Amino acid sequence: MTEATGIVGEFLTLKEGTDADLLAMQCGDFYEFFAEDAEIVADELDLKVSQKSSHGSSYPMAGVPVDDLTPYVSALVERGYRVAIADQHETENGHARDITRVVTPGTHLETGDESAQYLAAVVREATRDGGDTYGIAATDVTTGQFQVTQLDDADAGEALTELYTFGPAEILPGPELRNDDAFLDRLRERTDAALTLHDSASFEPGRASHTVREQFGSETVDSVGIGDKDVALRAAGAVLSYVDDTGVGTLAAVTRLQAYGERAHVDLDATTQRNLELTETMQGDSSGSLFDTIDHTVTAAG
């Protein structure tokens, strides 16, 4: 526990209660970062660092105006940081602050990008015959689109290729994959996604199924064909749980459930897709890709 008091003590206490990398705490007309967070933000965003005294010690402090928070948070999220936001509200005794949301690469609404930005989860479950089944779920929180699939008797390469088609900004590996260094290394090589270890309980079959059915309705879940696909439901439930936990306020808008099986086209593995520069160049830029050349739409809806 920190010995700091006042605003710094409040900041450090709130920071201890979140697993976010950084905390922006509203103090009147500014969002302030203190201690190590201030030094990181100042280094990343070229902000000026001052000092704040508390309980006989001095703490680094950096801040941005309330109205300018979004672009700074966007820049931090693009660099892979998870940023908690603590908003200020009035109380009978003055002011209080609570964490209202956590902005992550896969749940960031103000992306400034017209293309879809997916948050995905991948789950692996061993079958009785020694094979593997993979469940994959992906949502774009800016549009409410939610896609789910289950790959039976599949290998890691097939699962990675399926993930790559979404180009996710953030991926939640299931409990069975978190210690699979080979899979995670391939995931890092083939995507630029941030990897987040979400609460293992959200992947449990019973809880995940309940979460999905509560969100979309049992009739919808059964009608799209995933009611009996436990591994797919585990991935879907974890994604919904994560969106809810980060407090982005969009869970109610996630209503467009779509389940799909084998895609009706020729499969290209992740390496081939990257080498062909279909959606991005070898340098990771969308400009200059095949899609950029033929895309003349101006909105995410096309």
Verify that 125 and 261 share a domain, yes or no: yes
Separation of alpha carbons 292 and 8, rounded Å: 47
Verify that 123 and 256 share a domain, yes or no: yes
What's the CATH number where 55 sits? Answer: 3.40.1170.10
Query: Residue 41 falls within a domain, yes or no?
Result: yes
Query: Residue 73 falls within a domain, yes or no?
Result: yes
Under 8 Å between Cβ of 114 and 300? yes
Residue range(s) defining the domain that contains residue 220: 118-267
Query: Residue 111 falls within a domain, yes or no?
Result: no
Whether the predicted model's global pTM rises above the 0.85 cut: no
Verify that 279 and 263 share a domain, yes or no: no
SS (H, E, C) 8-41: HHHHHHHHHCCCCCEEEEEECCEEEEEHHHHHHH
- Specify the pLDDT at position 113: 55
Report pLDDT digits (tens) over 130-155.
Answer: 889 999 999 998 888 999 999 999 99
Q: Given pLDDT bands bounded at 50, 70 and 90, which one contains residue 265?
A: very low
Under 8 Å between Cβ of 120 and 104? no
Verify that 122 and 256 share a domain, yes or no: yes
Query: Residue 232 falls within a domain, yes or no?
Result: yes
Verify that 218 and 200 share a domain, yes or no: yes
What's the CATH number where 156 sits? Answer: 3.30.420.110
Report pLDDT digits (tens) over 244-258.
Answer: 998 866 788 888 899
Query: Residue 78 falls within a domain, yes or no?
Result: yes
Verify that 296 and 189 share a domain, yes or no: no
- Specify the pLDDT at position 297: 74
Verify that 158 and 233 share a domain, yes or no: yes
Say yes or no to pLDDT of 1 above 70: no
Query: Residue 1 falls within a domain, yes or no?
Result: no
Report pLDDT digits (tens) over 217-243.
Answer: 999 999 999 999 999 999 999 999 999
Verify that 275 and 263 share a domain, yes or no: no
Query: Residue 94 falls within a domain, yes or no?
Result: yes
- Specify the pLDDT at position 99: 93
Verify that 198 and 133 share a domain, yes or no: yes
Under 8 Å between Cβ of 135 and 126? no
The number of domains in the chain is 3
Strand, coil or helix: 5 = coil
Report pLDDT digits (tens) over 6-31.
Answer: 889 999 999 999 989 999 999 999 99
Query: Residue 13 falls within a domain, yes or no?
Result: yes
Verify that 137 and 41 share a domain, yes or no: no
Verify that 23 and 133 share a domain, yes or no: no
Verify that 127 and 260 share a domain, yes or no: yes
- Specify the pLDDT at position 115: 59
Strand, coil or helix: 286 = coil
